[in-house]
Amino acid sequence: MQLNFSGGLDPYFAAHAVVRASGGSRKIEFSHDGETWLAKLYYQSSGIQHPGVRLPTGTEWDLDTVREFRVKVMRRGDEDEPGQQSFNAHLRPRWKGMRVERSDGETQELALPPGMREGVNIHVTGSNIRPTRYLPLLRAAARALDLNPDYFTKPDNSSTVRDAERYVRLLEDSSGPVHARDGPIAKLGHLLENDRSGYRKVVQNDTDGEGNDVPGYYHTVTLGPGRVSEAWPNHELPKEIKHYRVRHAESLDEDNPLRHPKVGASYQVNRWDGSLGVTDDDLARLERELDEAVHSVLREAGIPLDPPGGDGSPPYQPDPYFPATIGEHVEPPKLNLAELESEQEHVVIRELAKTGGVSPVEGEVIEYLLADGGTSSAADIAEEHGRHVGSVRRALRRMDDLIDRQYGEVALASNHIAEMLHSAVSELRDASSRLSEATGEALLSATRGLDETTSALRTWLAAHDCETDSRGQAVKKLRLGEFDPAGKYGYAEVISELRKGLRYWTDAGRDPAAFKHATVLFRRTDRRKRQAIDAAQLLELRGG
């Protein structure tokens, strides 16, 4: 985490005085919450340019050099055999107008957080310590090192968390459902991904760095805030869900924790425009979201959150920092990926099965997006098919559940939706081809030898995607497209076109009743859903 304190440079000068009095560094042992910790204060060189005798802010500077300081805090060895419960706090001075040396030898002014004129920045990195414990441990270490702990009591609002992870360690024989090709990690990426809306990245690597086949070696899905909220509606923080193993894990003893994989959730600060502060509420939220993500992924994979009773053994592997039980936990939010998958399938089925099916423009949009591997826009699709861009935009609005639209770009909402549409469109295209052939043959057989009125009828029926009975003797469905109810002719436009078709039908010597039994499908431009009315009813209502 990045901690900013704008109360002045007193913490920096105090660290300098302690190091100077201690001969370059100071070590101390201290207790905190019943635990024994070791702290070491030392210094390092700095790329900050010496300010001279006075800072640009007016503060006197009587030090010959500019140094930076570090506080290394770690658990005492007899309480932490692996020695991995520790953190390092890197303390750097900050003042308005300070300049730092770049890698090319030139200097540049370093921008400070808003509102800061003088203060210190502390970059804290650590492991195996709960997020809420870093600040209290830093203050306890400062007190033991003869630094005033009050210096580190109130971080500025500009302080942020940069990284965090919470994990459990599963037995290697129990973790398969997590990283399986149809498991929660793969499905999170598959159901929530598309290339242009939000952020997601899926990695499924079953080969270690030396080319060995290691199932579940490194499987991750990274989701930005928009995608995260689809999986967990009460979450916002971008996350990476991961299943991973150390290299050469199979060569380790079974009782060695490192042989067994971790399932974790980590905060991904670079995947959003926001930030997470370091208040108690912020850190509690961070811990809650990460824990809930891990718990819900485990539950989705069918792994019990609580160890089974009786003779059953828990599916978790203990390590020095994880006792092989989930412990106390609030019921995690439901991560029902089957429900999300079903919901997306329902969206596709509903769109394709809506009264009258998709319009020609909608069909062109779908096929374009299925074929397109890059950025698309309404203008791109319109140009490709010779359509007016307004018609394409109206089609996109009608397909909101299938389409992601932002910043003028459009994409299918997920890979799962794309795959379903590809399959459905292929089937519909084949069925349409078969239907057209059957209809054409039936009409040709029924009308062969008649006068030129037959040609006009056949042209009109084809233009309106007519479906007939198996003998071509009666019309089953007619699609009359879209009309604008606010236009010059309004609703009458539909009835006028229908009358034209009826005239062609009767002029060709056909039974009017066989035409009037048809279902007429059309859509108003101001409504999403198509309308379906019997031809006879429509003609009767409008004086036909």
Nearest to 244, CA basis, from 206, 190, 213? 206
What percent of the chain is helix, strand and coil (3-state, nearest 5)? 35, 25, 40
Kindly state the average pLDDT of the residues 427-436: 42
Tell me the pLDDT tens digit for each residue of 335-365: 655 555 544 444 454 445 444 455 666 666 6
Share of the chain above pLDDT 90, in %: 35
pLDDT in tens, 119-165: 999 999 999 999 999 999 999 999 999 999 999 999 999 999 999 99
Helix or strand holding residue 333 (H, E): none
Q: Answer yes or no: are the C-beta atoms of 216 and 245 closer than 8 Å.
A: yes
CA-to-CA separations, 247 to 85, 205, 259, 315, 452, in angstroms, rounded: 21, 13, 9, 22, 79
**DSSP codes of every residue in 383-435:** HHHT--HHHHHHHHHHTTTTEEEETTEEEES-HHHHHHHHHHHHHHHHHHHHH
Structure tokens given for 445:
């057989």
Question: Could you tell me which residues are beta bridge partners of residue 479?
Answer: 521
Q: Which residue has the higher pLDDT, 230 or 265?
A: 265
CA angle 275, 277, 278 (to 5 degrees): 150
Query: What tokens does 98 get?
Result: 């300070």
pTM above 0.75, yes or no: no
Q: How far apart are CA 355 and CA 86, in angstroms?
A: 64
- Which helix (H) or strand (E) covers residue 220, if one does? strand 213-223
The answer to whether 515 and 535 have CB atoms below 8 angstroms apart is yes
pLDDT in tens, 207-243: 887 777 888 888 998 888 877 887 888 899 999 999 9
Rg of the chain taking only CA atoms, in angstroms: 34
Q: Helical H runs in 164-224?
A: 176-179, 184-192
Q: Please state, in angstroms and rounded to a whole number, the distance separating the CA atoms of residues 125 and 23.
A: 26
